[in-house]
Amino acid sequence: RVNSKIAYVVHLGDVVDHGDDNNSTEWLRAKTEMYKLEQDGIPYGVAVGNHDQTPLGNPASPGTNDGYGLYFGRDHMDTNPWFGGAYGSSNNSDNNYDLFSANGVNYIVLYIEYNTPGSEGYSASIETAVMNWAEGVLDTYASRKAIIVSHSILNKPTGSNSNIKAGEGSNSVASAFTNQGEVIYDRMKLHPNVFLMLSGHISGEGFRRDNYNGHVIKSYLSDYQSRENSPFDGSNRNGGNGLMRLMKFNQTQQTLSIRTFAPRVGTNILEVDGDSDFTTSLYN
């Protein structure tokens, strides 16, 4: 934490695999690991993925995500000084935001739950209400640099095998938005303080840069659940080796540097291909 100057941690969703389906064990494991950040005083937030919902991908009644609400809902997260608030009055706080500062810059991180158009569990009414709420929050905190986090924003770019193998990706081909990503971007592009969007859900790595009337938003996909080890025959996935990303904001040079690594001791823990280890402009 000290050497890397970690100011905030993002979880992109799918905290568990089986939602609320007799699944207390997975939620307890997730809670035990994520709460370690609190114990060390590291601000963090957690997106709601489709696997955190029951039935999978259903954000509306009769769908549930009680495990998320129990361990990462308003009642618990409100005890943390970085927690800003949440949509609605329920404890689940599926859509929420955090506030933190780093290197003299104030940030807001806004989390939007999984609710993708075209899926069986999609709720148009929830989408409209949540997006209206999200825009209101961004208006309230217009002076803060804004990061949007949602489980599903980008697809893997055409021709990339980064879902299976390290070194098989590239930032030279832009990712397409998912259906929910289109909805989110169309609303977020109207807010000049939004500069970054982060997502998972689709296995692989991806990137796109959008410019709306001079307002640039960069979006990144990082999801390693299908990543395999040699011989790449599906027999040795090992949970994607637990790959994580470290994003370094350099305010002096106005750059964003991304490093992808496996959190273990030893050699060969870094990915160094073009969409895993790179530096780009921070806001443009």
CATH number of the structural domain spanning residue 54: 3.60.21
Q: Could you report the per-residue pLDDT of 179-238, keeping only the tens digit for each?
A: 999 999 999 999 999 999 999 999 999 999 999 999 999 999 999 888 776 666 666 666
Residue 186 lies in a domain: yes
Whether 240 has a pLDDT exceeding 80, the answer reads: no
Residue 112 lies in a domain: yes
Residue 34 lies in a domain: yes
How high is the pLDDT of residue 100? 98
Q: Kindly report the average pLDDT of the chain as a whole number.
A: 92
Our count of domains for the chain comes to: 1
Residue 4 lies in a domain: no
How high is the pLDDT of residue 274? 81
Whether 94 has a pLDDT exceeding 80, the answer reads: yes
Whether 120 has a pLDDT exceeding 90, the answer reads: no
3-state secondary structure the chain: CCCCCCCCEEECCCCCCCCCCCCHHHHHHHHHHHHHHHHCCCCEEECCCHHHCECCCCCCCCCECHHHHHHHCHHHHCCCCCEEEECCCCCCCCCEEEEEEECCEEEEEEEECCCCCCCCCCCHHHHHHHHHHHHHHHHHCCCCEEEEEECCCECCCCCCCCCCCCCCCCCCCCCCECHHHHHHHHHHCCCCCEEEEEECCCCEEEEEEEEECCEEEEEEEEECCCCCCCCCCCCCCHHHHHCEEEEEEECCCCEEEEEEECCCCCCCCEECCCCCEEEEECCC
Whether 13 has a pLDDT exceeding 80, the answer reads: yes
pLDDT-derived band at 63 (thresholds 50, 70, 90) equals confident
pTM: 0.95
Lowest mean pLDDT among 96-110, 112-126, 160-174: 160-174
Lowest mean pLDDT among 26-30, 143-147, 227-231, 270-274: 227-231
Q: Could you report the per-residue pLDDT of 143-171, keeping only the tens digit for each?
A: 999 999 999 999 998 877 777 667 666 67
> Could you list the residue range(s) of the whole structural domain that residue 219 is in?
9-256+264-281
What average pLDDT does range 94-111 have in this prediction?
Answer: 98
What average pLDDT does range 63-73 have in this prediction?
Answer: 93
Residue 1 lies in a domain: no
